[in-house]
Chain A
């Protein structure tokens, strides 16, 4: 056992490190493995379940009668069939836009107001919990979006066009990053989203806890930040382009097992 002055510590460490370290993808895989146990999304799931069952809003009602597509109150299995067409709103809706409908009709919240609220503020925080809870109730299930309704088919076609739509100062489209398999930005793998990228990858890995911000991101927030980095203008919360992309990616991911809520860089 030897005593080392502080200044010497760095040098020895560097020498050892150079000899032993796993660089690149192996190192990242090791890092991710260490974080698998203890995903803070658990905290959001618990908060979401409480919000789902709690009487809230101007009508002092819970969300327990919310119809997520499998009938009022059915949460299990609903997430892996979204986005889908809803007869009451005559619209194809994703999880977040459907939650807004329920928050408005059942609880009396102003859906348009929540859609305008910045992420991470006010009722948007409630939605972070709710998407974690609802998606967790389909954990392990396989994506199977309905495509029987003409509007669902239409949204798929439009989503495909949106996916390949190149514009902005960088000439980027979704396909710039997600059109080919095996690609990375820096060390970040980019799932190919034009076909099924596999279980728990791409569409099947959102919502997710973001380590960078310590927040739960649903698909709406994921797409919003994609468009930010695509250098596009701002997509409205629950806007048709976001729903259409959800349908396109979700239908392409048919059969993929959902691991949501996942944990992401």
Chain B
């Protein structure tokens, strides 16, 4: 199973800035291995964010997002103590959900 994400969510000026690091290879499908065979694409395709359980953002990613992806966005009105959870799904059917409390 994939490693946990690192999520930081900090409230200031009426919003919470969320910074997420995900552990993922993000293999492009453009590279070849030592034997010359194409390494199949393996990457996160969908990322969603929930604020206290309600979905507030949906993203779709191609393989051009860098390995061990970083994402930053801001949730309007979120305050200290609120819960932000992030879910990703990849093209191998793997997925991961982690949660952080806004500080």
Contacts and interface: CB of A to CB of B under 8 A. Distances in A.
B3 A37 contact: no
Interface string A1-45: 000000000000000000000000000000000000110101100
B6 interface: yes
A46 B3 CA distance: 9
B67 A38 contact: no
Contacts of B97: none
Given A46-B3, A46-B6, A214-B67, A40 B21 contact: yes
B73 interface: no
A38 B3 contact: no
Given A37-B19, A38-B19, A38-B21, A43 B6 contact: yes
B91 interface: no
Contact of B72 (A38, A42, A46): A38
B70 A38 contact: yes
Interface residues on A, range: under 10
Nearest to B72: A38
A40 B68 contact: yes
Contacts of A222: none
Contacts of A42: 6, 21
Interface residues of B, number: 13
Given A40-B70, A214-B67, A214-B68, A46 B4 contact: yes
Interface in B49-86: 66-68, 70, 72
A37 B67 CA distance: 16
With most chain B CB atoms within 10 A of its CB, the pick from A38, A46, A214 is: A38
Contacts of A37: 19
B23 interface: yes
Given A38-B72, A214-B67, A43 B21 contact: yes
A96 B100 CA distance: 33
Interface of A: 37-38, 40, 42-43, 46-47, 214
Interface of B: 3-4, 6, 19, 21-23, 25, 66-68, 70, 72
Given A40-B23, A43-B22, A46-B3, 14 more contacts: A37-B19, A38-B21, A38-B70, A38-B72, A40-B21, A40-B68, A42-B21, A43-B6, A43-B21, A46-B6, A47-B3, A47-B23, A214-B66, A214-B68
23 contacts: A37-B19, A38-B19, A38-B21, A38-B70, A40-B21, A40-B23, A40-B68, A40-B70, A42-B6, A42-B21, A43-B3, A43-B6, A43-B21, A43-B22, A43-B23, A43-B68, A46-B3, A46-B4, A46-B6, A47-B3, A47-B23, A214-B66, A214-B68
